[in-house]
Amino acid sequence: LLDKNLKCPGFDSRSIGVFDSGFGGLTIMKSLIEKLPSESIIYFGDSANAPYGDRTSSEIIKYATDAADFLAQKNIKILIIACNTACACASKIIKQKLSIPVFEIITPSFQTVLKESKNYNIGVIATRATIRSQIYKKLIEQHNPKARVLSLSCPLFVPLLEEGHFDNKLALNLAEHYLKPLKKKKIDTLLLACTHYPLMKGIIQKVMGDDVKVIDPSLACALNLLSFLEKNGISSLNAKPKYEFYTSGDTEKFKNIAEVFLEKKIDQVLKK
């Protein structure tokens, strides 16, 4: 067994830093645990300031850069911005600010939906700020001029999920209400472009019906990161990876929801 502090040439046992406005980035973390089982992870959920999606761009930049700085002080080897809204508004600024690599999730997400679509009528649901940025529409239509993107924001999904309503009548009613306009269009794929939304993927799939493939890009993001770490010689060989959790919100609430979602016992959640 390798000592977790052993320095191997071409390997790096330091943790990966992951942040989101709240619980949403846990959908990315869950895929990281599955696909990169030797990596230690430090997660920060900025629940006290969630939802980011209804904030102005300058507020999002402030909260996202604070979150990035907080994790960057923890001796991480790479930062994952596991929040589409923060990526859309602040990834360039964060990349400029930090001296470690910064991994954003928008690129692997839009590439995944383009691979999966057959008729290139693509639905994208996300927060208000992500839709306002038009980042997905621009990237998808630039990469495939045949593609048509129908974007829709679902602003009440995030507060609902932050309150722990993943799979109940309330979530179903809200999904039926928001997704109605998309059901009339002939989309064949629907990208969940907010990391909170995979928490209610079952409900979204039910509302959209079997003809629409609902895309949770978190596994693709994890696989992309895996090849980035390998290419750059910074994968880890930890036999016993460590998972650490921080929140700016209520630590007990974070622990309870994160345990249900990650299907894992969490020792402790620390307050930022």
Q: Do residues 153 and 127 make contact, with C-beta atoms less than 8 angstroms apart?
A: yes
Instruction: List residues bridging with 199 in a β-sheet.
Output: none
Does residue 217 touch ligand DGL according to CB under 6 A? Answer: no
Does residue 53 touch ligand DGL according to CB under 6 A? Answer: yes
Residues of this chain, 124-163, that bind ligand DGL according to CB under 6 A? 127, 130, 158
Does residue 50 touch ligand DGL according to CB under 6 A? Answer: yes
CA angle 206, 26, 250 (to 5 degrees): 110
Is 87 tagged catalytic?
A: no
Q: How far is the CB of 75 from ligand DGL (least distance, A)?
A: 25
Q: Which one of 40, 109, 195, 248 is in contact with ligand DGL (CB under 6 A)?
A: 195
Q: Which one of 26, 36, 78, 83 is in contact with ligand DGL (CB under 6 A)?
A: 83
Is 154 tagged catalytic?
A: no
Does residue 192 touch ligand DGL according to CB under 6 A? Answer: no
Nearer to ligand DGL, 53 or 249 (CB): 53
Q: Which one of 84, 218, 224, 236 is in contact with ligand DGL (CB under 6 A)?
A: 84
Does residue 113 touch ligand DGL according to CB under 6 A? Answer: no
Q: Of residues 87, 89, 154, 194, which has the active-site annotation?
A: 194
Q: How far is the CB of 123 from ligand DGL (least distance, A)?
A: 16
Instruction: List residues bridging with 271 in a β-sheet.
Output: 247
DSSP state of 201: H
Residue owning tokens 């690599």: 101
Q: Helix H segments across the chain?
A: 26-35, 57-72, 84-97, 106-116, 128-133, 135-143, 157-162, 169-183, 201-208, 218-231, 251-262
Spatial CB neighbours of 138, under 8 Å, sequence gap ≥ 6: none
| First and final C-alpha spacing in the chain | 33
Query: Which segment (34-42, 80-88, 168-176, 206-214) binds ligand DGL by CB under 6 A?
Result: 80-88
Residues of this chain, 9-48, that bind ligand DGL according to CB under 6 A? 20-22, 24
Other Cβ atoms within 10 Å of 267 Cβ, number: 9
